[in-house]
């Protein structure tokens, strides 16, 4: 529950952060929804409820990021390719959550529209069911005219797959029968995230210290931040020290 003072405190914190350099691109591995559900105070709750709480955390954190002038790109790891190996009911619940809530998020007067945020789906679209893909493509169309910031949703994604795909495209685009030298610039232009700047900060929640095949190409010079908080509990209080550390 919000106290009367929380909006004031939030404005003060965001104003203080705005004094220093602001990261242009933040990446987030949203980890801990299932552990949050299993360890919920008072007893376990359904895993689907944990994922819903994680989506609500995304809205809250995204809004805080968008209030920091200069931060133009947020990229989140929503669903890895290897997550398709999870329990079938859990996968279906996650996909249904994405299908329903992302469309709502892009609706007139909602968060993406208010802040003029463009949503891009990053990943292997062919691995998604027709209904989920249709919903995500609808959101992309709804927000394609938004210009202030970009939210990249990585779903059915793996960085190793992204890089392998980029190499394949570079080879296919070569007109020489012997091929040509592939440069870093060539590969960069073929990445799924080629439209976004390099990542400045990569955050992973839930006290897990690994990158899990996420944005390996884009995080060459990123500052890595690991927090013990489960993703559904991550908010402005956790974001502030991360940005302050970046500003040092």
Instruction: Give the residue from 150, 224, 161, 148 showing the smallest Cα distance to 192.
Output: 161
Output the DSSP codes for the chain.
---TTHHHHHHHHHHHHTTS---SEEEEE---HHHHHHT-TTS---HHHHHHHHHHHHHHHHHHHHTSTT--EEEEEEEEGGGGGS-HHHHHHHHHHHHHHHHHHTSTTSHHHHTTEEEEEES-GGGS-HHHHHHHHHHHHHHTT--SEEEEEEEEE-HHHHHHHHHHHHHHH--STT--PPPHHHHHHHSTTTTSPPPSEEEE-TT----TTSSTTTTTTPEEEE-SS-GGG--HHHHHHHHHHHH-
Is residue 130 part of the annotated active site? The answer reads no
Are 63 and 55 in contact, with CB atoms under 8 Å apart?
Answer: no
From the candidates 31, 96, 130, 186, give the one annotated as an active-site residue. 31
Q: Which residues are catalytic?
A: 31
């Amino acid at each position: 529950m919000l106290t009367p003072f929380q909006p004031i405190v939030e404005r003060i914190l965001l104003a203080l952060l705005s004094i220093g350099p602001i990261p242009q691109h933040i990446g987030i591995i949203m980890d801990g929804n299932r552990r949050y559900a299993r360890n919920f105070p008072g007893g376990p709750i359904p895993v689907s409820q944990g994922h819903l709480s994680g989506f609500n955390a995304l809205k809250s954190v995204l809004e805080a990021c968008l209030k920091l002038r200069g931060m133009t790109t947020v990229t989140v790891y929503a669903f890895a390719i290897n997550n398709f190996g999870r329990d079938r009911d859990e996968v279906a619940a996650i996909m249904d959550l994405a299908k329903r809530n992302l469309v709502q998020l892009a609706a007139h007067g909602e968060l993406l529209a208010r802040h003029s945020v463009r949503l891009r789906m990053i990943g292997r679209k062919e691995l998604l069911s027709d209904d989920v893909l249709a919903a995500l493509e609808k959101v992309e169309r709804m927000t394609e005219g938004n210009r202030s910031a970009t939210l990249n949703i990585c779903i059915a994604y793996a960085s190793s797959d992204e890089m392998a795909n980029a190499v394949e495209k570079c080879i296919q685009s070569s007109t020489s029968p012997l091929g040509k030298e592939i440069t870093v610039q060539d590969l960069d232009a073929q990445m799924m995230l080629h439209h976004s700047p390099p990542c400045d900060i990569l955050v992973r929640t839930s006290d897990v210290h690994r990158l899990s095949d996420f944005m390996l190409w884009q995080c060459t010079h990123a500052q890595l931040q690991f927090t013990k908080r489960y993703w559904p509990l991550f908010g402005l209080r956790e974001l502030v020290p991360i940005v302050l550390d970046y500003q040092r």
